[in-house]
Structure 1
Amino acid sequence: MNEPTTALPSRFERFGLYHLERFERENTGETAFEIPDEELTRQVNRISVKGVVLSCLVGMICVFPIIYVDVRFTNASAWVHYGWLIAVTVVATAIEFYCLFYISLKAVHKVSELIHLEHVMHESLEDGIFGVKNILARTALEINDPELKILGIDPFKRISKKNLFVLGLLYKGKIIVSNLLLKYSLRFTVGSRLLGVPILYAAIPVEMFWNGLVILKVIREARLRLFGYALANKIADSVAADGYLEILSPEAKKGCLRAIGNAVVMTQNYHPNMIILLLRFKDLFQVEEEDRYDDWELFLETLREVSEQERNFLLDLLTVAAAFDGKLSPIEKEHLQEAYQQDAELYLKRLTDLTSHLKNGRLNAALSLCQLDFIKG
């Protein structure tokens, strides 16, 4: 049984949705595909710079009182010292988190205005946990995407949940570890003061660095997800408009869902770009039941059984789906060779170029490589 894609968002996600709903939208009238890639890049960079500057200022302002209190009460009793330190840390951290979340939400909102998704949205995706605002809220707040099994496809079929948990802990602890390493390395090399300033203040540039890095990461991921959303809808609309729904055989239609499903499994996460593509094709083919759409051997069998033209179409779709998260995993590279066979060089170049365009924010260049047809390559 498939889990619904209209489940209620978490309380944290609703916090993001609340702010995104309140932000006013500017509409220039141009669609995302009418704006040159160079202009899109320039405007995204401008949003990024503003976000980084604001996040660095927030880090500096919020960390300063924590360090000041730590230095000010160093010689006081433990109760006084740590009482003040804990109280100020809790308040300052809460303020910093709220400000950073707000900056992130505002940044992804500004990026979404550039894309003008209202021109490429589809009614089947407007609501639910894979709606645009839900995706943006999770991106800005760095919330994991929901673990669903759409059409029985398991994104973690080839990866350990324990490994994902450990990686998450390491990621969340990066700032603490950086601060400790810097503080104790400086204390070991130059003592408790540097140029008359207590070493504890070294935490300020570290905090500013990580805050800026997180904002950059959020904006780049938001751009990738927004581009993927726009492209997935564009691809699905083109398939319908070009009459492929009437031409493709029932086996080839299953092959389409297996191409996307196996791309999800090889990527080892439920990246929204792939899910949007999967949901649009699921809607196009009016499929609701599971049929081992994440089975790689069945997909290879389908490639052998369909006509040469349909095989070309399926390899096009597999290439696009594999590129949609903006990176290539070792598992993808290994398995794609099996599917491409003698045409590996041709399709791998397209895959590499498309991945690069998506990762670097070249929307129109990416669109030119997302065409699905019956022609090889």
Structure 2
Amino acid sequence: MTDQEKKPPFMERVGLRYFQRLSVKYPANFDPDGIHVLNPSERKALRRIQRNAVLRAATAGGISAGLAVLATVLLEQPMLGDYPDTIPLSGKVGYYAAVMAITILVTTLEVAFLYRDALRSVHRLSAKAGLELFPDTGGTKGDEAAVAVALVRAALELPNPPDDLAGVNPRREISKIRVLVSTLVYKLKATVTNFLVKAIVRRIVGRAGFRAWIEFVAVPVFAIWNAVITWWVMRQARIRAMGP
């Protein structure tokens, strides 16, 4: 098997390097006898790490959605005038392009923050639980990095690697594509949820004075979605590190 065939997926390599840096800066509460029993204080700390990760993710989702909505609302009058409904679709191209550009930028920053914070939170979880991810050499080879790899994959929502076929892993380089597709699917789910919630609010509220603010329904919707996904990620990390 060549080195190229053995090379882990890109996202996994990035996550492992980040874990290595964090392990140097924040070493685990390692027990020399190899057995670390969590005391009540440590269990409380683990719950706090999980809770704070969920809160940060929800906040990031709310801020991201809020900025995108603000762009939609604030750019409408300057670019479309007082009567946007009278402008043909061809006259709205610049407006939609500006809103889309801002939304893509904000979403990219949000996703980058979420992945970085997930890795950082999962590492803190393992350190507080007494898991030494890179014993002895601090490297990423062999069984020494098995737990670290599992935790990185949990943080990045990557599947466990399939068995090699004839010495070649057919999925060794799809992590970047999978992460992109997973992000798009997640955003699509959140967008559909946002659309349905706004439709319900419109039916309930009805009054034109409130309809201008209906777009801000996206803020709690995306915050809740981020919170749910992060809770799931932290749960999977805990299971992979310590069992159910």
Superposed displacement of residue 118, structure 1: 3.1
Output the CA distance in 2 between the equivalents of 1:87 and 1:126.
39
* One-letter amino acid of the structure 1 residue matched with residue 56 of structure 2: L
For the Cα contact (< 8 Å) 1:16–1:105, is it kept in 2? yes
Kindly indicate whether residue 189 of structure 2 is the aligned counterpart of residue 190 of structure 1. no
Output the CA distance in 1 between the equivalents of 2:133 and 2:61.
37
Q: CA offsets, 1:62-104, max 9 Å, x none? A: 2222101112234524112201111001100110001111110
TM-score (norm 2): 0.72
Superposed displacement of residue 18, structure 1: 2.8
Superposed displacement of residue 54, structure 1: 1.5
Which residue of the partner structure matches residue 48 of structure 2? 46
| Structure number with larger C-alpha Rg | 1
Output the CA distance in 2 between the equivalents of 1:96 and 1:131.
29
Which residue of the partner structure matches residue 195 of structure 2? 180
Change (3 A) 1:89 1:38: same
Output the CA distance in 2 between the equivalents of 1:182 and 1:54.
23
Q: CA offsets, 1:145-191, max 9 Å, x none? A: 212159xxxxxxxxxxxxxxxxx799634212211211222123323
Superposed displacement of residue 8, structure 1: 1.6
Superposed displacement of residue 41, structure 1: 3.0
Which residue of the partner structure matches residue 83 of structure 1? 97
Question: Which runs of no fewer than 5 residues in structure 2 stay unpaired?
Answer: 81-90, 166-181
Q: CA offsets, 1:213-249, max 9 Å, x none? A: 122111111111011xxxxxxxxxxxxxxxxxxxxxx
Output the CA distance in 1 between the equivalents of 2:12 and 2:92.
39
Which residue of the partner structure matches residue 108 of structure 1? 122
Query: Once the two structures are aligned, what percentage of the paired residues are identical?
Result: 25
Question: Which runs of no fewer than 5 residues in structure 1 stay unpaired?
Answer: 151-167, 228-357, 360-377
* One-letter amino acid of the structure 1 residue matched with residue 29 of structure 2: T
Change (3 A) 1:119 1:131: closer
Output the CA distance in 1 between the equivalents of 2:150 and 2:236.
11
Change (3 A) 1:14 1:28: closer
* One-letter amino acid of the structure 1 residue matched with residue 218 of structure 2: A
Output the CA distance in 1 between the equivalents of 2:118 and 2:161.
20
Q: Following superposition of structure 1 onto structure 2, how do residues 149-228 of structure 1 map, counting pairs within 5 Å?
A: 172=186, 173-191=188-206, 195=210, 198-227=213-242
Kindly indicate whether residue 13 of structure 2 is the aligned counterpart of residue 14 of structure 1. yes
Which residue of the partner structure matches residue 26 of structure 2? 25
* One-letter amino acid of the structure 2 residue matched with residue 14 of structure 1: R
Aligned length: 210
For the Cα contact (< 8 Å) 1:142–1:218, is it kept in 2? yes
Output the CA distance in 2 between the equivalents of 1:80 and 1:109.
44
CA RMSD of aligned residues (A): 3.5
* One-letter amino acid of the structure 2 residue matched with residue 145 of structure 1: N
For the Cα contact (< 8 Å) 2:202–2:211, is it kept in 1? no
TM-score (norm 1): 0.48
* One-letter amino acid of the structure 1 residue matched with residue 103 of structure 2: T
For the Cα contact (< 8 Å) 2:157–2:233, is it kept in 1? yes
